[in-house]
Amino acid sequence: MGNLQSRILIYAKDGINLKPIKIYKDEDGNNWIEAKNKTKFIIEIKNNTENNVLSVISVDGLSILNGKKAILENKNGYVVSPYNNLKINGWRTSLNSIREFEFTNNKNLSYSHKLGADENNIGVIGFAFYKEEKCYTLDWDAYYKNIKNYSYPQWTTTAYYNNTITNNIVSSANCAKSSDCLETSNFSIATKQGNEVKDKAYEIELNFESFPFITDTIYYDSKENLIARGIIKENKKGLPKPFGKSDFCPDL
């Protein structure tokens, strides 16, 4: 599906306005975004394939659908149809509503802390993508015809599913990559539950492959910490500036 930005975007939300949050890379290839206190954010998933894709997502090591410890498996998630995209607005609390994702610099307000979950996973968003499983049915007319010709039978492909309600599904996974060089205690920003928002989803039953075809991780932290880690480069100071703000030369 191409590079990270071609399938995942994180937006800062200000009212109805969405602004993409820049994704940085560190020297080890890890992805980072700057997280600002009290900023609400939205995750957008893009499916650039010809298959239905199950997107399994975790925030701070928790399922965004049930708040439990995220596990890397294909049982539940959001289904994104071929060449389509989906914006995920927050923690799903029912099929009709979510609580917005919101960054906080007070870890006591984080969803992880309030749940009594493992706070060592604060500061990471994980993604896993599974392709829909296909079953193969034999075209018997072609089969018997080809027996006479001593050639292999022809096969046709059909999607295997139980019902056809379309839209969102529910799941998340602990697909965040671990990195020994990252000290989790140094992360200063977490994610809490924000306001409740109406957000309709539908249950659907589809079969997906057992293993994800792509996993990704985005770490997040404050600007100060990203600068300290060398991920955001500070502007060089001390050089003279060629232009000021004066309108005219002073009359001396």
Residue 201 domain-assigned?
yes
Residue 236 domain-assigned?
no
At 168, is the secondary structure helix, strand, or coil? Answer: coil
- For 205, the domain range is 4-130+168-228
Per-residue pLDDT reduced to its tens digit, 139-169:
556 555 554 443 333 333 332 222 222 334 3
Distance CA 244, CA 177 (A): 47
Residue 136 domain-assigned?
no
Instruction: Kindly report the average pLDDT of the chain as a whole number.
Output: 80
At 226, is the secondary structure helix, strand, or coil? Answer: helix
Q: How many domains does the chain have?
A: 1
Note the pLDDT of residue 211. Answer: 92
Residue 206 domain-assigned?
yes
Residue 147 domain-assigned?
no
Give the mean pLDDT of 57-61. 95
pTM for the whole thing? 0.75
Checking phi first, is residue 102 left (phi over 0); if not, alpha (psi -120 to 50) or beta?
Answer: beta
The pair of three-digit structure tokens given for residue 32, joined into one six-digit string: 């980072």
Per-residue pLDDT reduced to its tens digit, 227-244:
999 999 876 566 677 776
Residue 233 domain-assigned?
no
Note the pLDDT of residue 182. Answer: 52
Residue 241 domain-assigned?
no
Residue 50 domain-assigned?
yes
